[in-house]
Amino acid sequence: MSTNHPRLSADARAQALQAARALRNRKADMAGPAQITRSPDFASLKGYKERELMRQVTEMAGIRDPYFRQHEIRAGVTSRIAGRDVLNFGSYDYLGLNADPRPSAAAKAAIDRYGVSASGSRLTAGERPVHRTLEQSLARHYDVEDALCFVSGHATNISVIATLLGKGDLVLHDAYIHNSSFVGATLSGASRRSFPHNDLDALEHLLAETAGQYRATMVIVEGHYSMDGDIPDLARLIALKRTYGFWLMVDEAHGLGCIGPTGKGVRELHGIAGTEIDVWMGTLSKTLGSTGGYIAGSSVLIDILKCEAPGSVYSVALAPALAAAAECALSILEAEPQRVQRLQELGRLFLDCATSHGLDVGTSVGASIIPVIVGNSVLAVAASNKLLEAGINVLPVTFPGVAMNEARLRFFISSLHEEDQIRHAVATTAAVLKELRESRPDAQLQALMGMQP
């Protein structure tokens, strides 16, 4: 059927259209100019203004910003900051593999063969053998069917959670879960509720309360919590899973290589088969000394993520050099479990020394992550700066990274640290905190901010 009106000629239709346009323009002129809302200047945004205020206040109090310190050499148990060698507790290099020549050699060989970049998404541009070699090794490590790597650990959680869940689903997560899981749950469109840290009674209450109301429920925990250095009761989580039928996701970013007799994580500690967990997540950037994230689980799960997860479908693949380095590091972890044992020995030593000096280490199990909780954010920043002056690099974690009044110095332990270095760091930390608390520099700063010390 013709779209032309049968009773109007072409000239008449053109005149009618012209008249309609003229009428519309007259109405627009009568209404006046459209109201334009101009976007604010970046400097007026809330977060920037708050940081600027904090910078000004800390400068008035003579306290330097402790973040973005420039390391001039490869960060290991020692580093070089501002031309000075320091004892380093600010690195994820838990097993010393970032300094091991074997992963570096594997990365260089991969560059020579495959180039620096994978040059596209694996779905469209294809993949390299090093990708599948790494993924098969990760699957064996967790005793599951398959694995998939992504270019970023943070993006892994966002992409995967948002792929598996949506409107009509529910996410229940530990209150201390990593930002990446929180963001992924939020962006998924699923309902989201948190339970107090490691409080599985509270989790069970939520499970009973929400039973039958959602298509799918996912519970997300970490295998080794990055702020507190503690672990979940995985055995009880499995028991709850059998009762309530939820998907269980365990983020092992800090657990790989650090927890369990041979570094297989929290499942090894509890003697639980890898297949009991639906979604294993981890990163390549900590124990394995590379960059990227991964998911391990059933072949069906991995097929879904390969073809549907935006972080896989629409993102460039992991650089071959990073995959090769991570695979080499994983093979060293499995061949040299004494690295794991040494790390845990040093972690327990740090914990014992800290306790003997009256330092608050919270619920840390004494492995790779040990916080020294000081409470006041300003005190934590001042202590970090004082420790750097004393030749020890350790970074503070302040609100909103942790709850108000739970600011801490977060120590990362490496299997390459020496016992005397551990003892010296703990003793110096105790002395610095004692000195600062007695002089109360934070009181001056709090007063400038109009807050109570």
- Taking only the tens place, the pLDDT of each residue in 44-67 is 999 898 888 878 877 777 788 888
Q: Which two tokens stand for residue 392?
A: 């020890």
Residue 143 domain-assigned? yes
pLDDT digits 0-9 by tens, 287-335: 999 999 999 999 999 999 999 999 999 999 999 999 999 999 999 999 9
- Provide the CA 272 distance to its chain's centre, in angstroms: 25
Radius of gyration of the chain (CA): 27
Cα–Cα dist 46/100, whole Å? 44
Phi, psi of 80 (to 5 degrees): -130, 120
Cα–Cα dist 82/135, whole Å? 39
Does 10 have pLDDT greater than 70?
A: no
What does the pLDDT read at residue 29?
A: 65
Residue 176 domain-assigned? yes
Q: Specify whether 65 is located in the same domain as 136.
A: no
- Write out the H or E segment, with its range, that includes residue 11: helix 10-31
Does 260 have pLDDT greater than 50?
A: yes
- Write out the H or E segment, with its range, that includes residue 148: strand 146-150
The stretch 100-116 carries a mean pLDDT of 96
Cα–Cα dist 40/45, whole Å? 8
Cα–Cα dist 379/417, whole Å? 26
What does the pLDDT read at residue 54?
A: 75
Residue 96 domain-assigned? no
Find, among 340, 329, 343, 341, the residue nearest to 137 by Cα.
329
Residue 138 domain-assigned? yes
Choose the final residue of a domain: 335, 363, 381: 335
What does the pLDDT read at residue 450?
A: 47
What does the pLDDT read at residue 28?
A: 61
Confidence of residue 403 (pLDDT cuts 50, 70, 90): confident
What does the pLDDT read at residue 332?
A: 98
Residue 40 domain-assigned? no
What does the pLDDT read at residue 9?
A: 67
The stretch 106-134 carries a mean pLDDT of 93
pLDDT digits 0-9 by tens, 170-228: 999 999 999 999 999 999 999 999 999 999 999 999 999 999 999 999 999 999 999 99
What does the pLDDT read at residue 58?
A: 75
Q: Specify whether 196 is located in the same domain as 260.
A: yes
Does 389 have pLDDT greater than 60?
A: yes
- Write out the H or E segment, with its range, that includes residue 304: helix 299-308
What does the pLDDT read at residue 31?
A: 61
Cα–Cα dist 99/111, whole Å? 19
Q: Specify whether 145 is located in the same domain as 216.
A: yes
For the sheet with 78-81, list strands across it. 78-81, 84-88, 392-393
* 265 SS3 class: coil
450: alpha, beta or left, given left = phi > 0 and alpha = psi -120 to 50? left
ω before 33 within 30° of 0 (cis)?
A: no
CATH number of 74's domain: 3.90.1150.10
Q: Specify whether 181 is located in the same domain as 312.
A: yes
Confidence of residue 376 (pLDDT cuts 50, 70, 90): confident
Cα–Cα dist 238/26, whole Å? 70
DSSP 306-346: HHH-HHHHSSPPPPHHHHHHHHHHHHHHHH-THHHHHHHHH
CATH number of 317's domain: 3.40.640.10
Q: Specify whether 119 is located in the same domain as 221.
A: yes
How many distinct structural domains can be found in the chain? 2
Average pLDDT, the chain: 91
Confidence of residue 453 (pLDDT cuts 50, 70, 90): very low
Residue 5 domain-assigned? no
CA distances from 428 to 62, 347, 360 (A): 21, 17, 15
Residue 100 identity (one-letter amino acid): D
Q: Which two tokens stand for residue 147?
A: 């694995």
Cα–Cα dist 364/348, whole Å? 10
Confidence of residue 32 (pLDDT cuts 50, 70, 90): low
Phi, psi of 71 (to 5 degrees): -95, 130
Residue 408, CA atoms < 13 Å, CB-side half-sphere: 22
Q: Specify whether 386 is located in the same domain as 271.
A: no
pLDDT digits 0-9 by tens, 404-426: 789 999 999 999 999 999 999 99
Q: Specify whether 293 is located in the same domain as 186.
A: yes
Q: Specify whether 253 is located in the same domain as 400.
A: no
The answer for residues whose C-beta is within 8 angstroms of residue 195's C-beta and 6 or more apart is 172, 173, 174, 175, 202, 203, 206
Residue 411 domain-assigned? yes
Residue 433 identity (one-letter amino acid): L
Q: Specify whether 171 is located in the same domain as 312.
A: yes
Q: Specify whether 85 is located in the same domain as 140.
A: no
Choose the final residue of a domain: 320, 335, 350: 335
pLDDT digits 0-9 by tens, 227-241: 999 999 999 999 999
What does the pLDDT read at residue 125?
A: 86
Residue 44 domain-assigned? no
Choose the final residue of a domain: 306, 335, 364: 335
Q: Specify whether 316 is located in the same domain as 238.
A: yes
Q: What is the DSSP letter of 71?
A: B
> Range of 275's domain?
101-335
Q: Specify whether 176 is located in the same domain as 129.
A: yes
What does the pLDDT read at residue 67?
A: 87
CA distances from 21 to 24, 26, 33, 86 (A): 5, 9, 18, 74
Does 33 have pLDDT greater than 70?
A: no
Find, among 289, 256, 422, 430, the residue nearest to 346 by Cα.
422
